[in-house]
Amino acid sequence: MASTMKSTPVPGSLEAECPGGLDWAWESLGECVVNARDKVSIAFGVLSIVCWFIFGIPQIVTNCMKKIPDQAVSPFLLFFWILGDSLNFTGAFLTNQLFLQVGLRFNVSVWTVYLYTYLRLMHLYI
């Protein structure tokens, strides 16, 4: 007769803390991702960071090398900043984060849209 004893998961491991969760999300982010909503939230958060790196870092480096960081803000930078902030806000909303965190992300998104609109209008009228 075969033994039917189950092994007890190690405390702090994925099996103990987040059964059925994504291993990479648990190991790298410390997040328990088990359903579609969690996966979408993680995807939006990671996409937000990728957008910031792809479009933010080269703009900052170029502006600092030309020594005109206050004069050269690309519309593409602001557009993708808006996209990244929107995805960040959506991820915060989907994961039911604290009101302050969701509000802060919303506020940053609104200010970025304002800056983008202001830049576009100034470009049209100058």
pLDDT tens column, 8-24? 767 767 777 888 888 88
Residue 15 in contact with residue 9, Cβ under 8 Å?
yes
pLDDT tens column, 84-109? 778 877 887 787 776 767 777 777 77
- Distances in whole angstroms, Cα of residue 98 to Cα of each of 66, 77, 89, 95, 105: 40, 28, 12, 9, 11
Residue 31 in contact with residue 25, Cβ under 8 Å?
yes
What whole-number distance in Å separates Cα of residue 93 and Cα of residue 90? 5
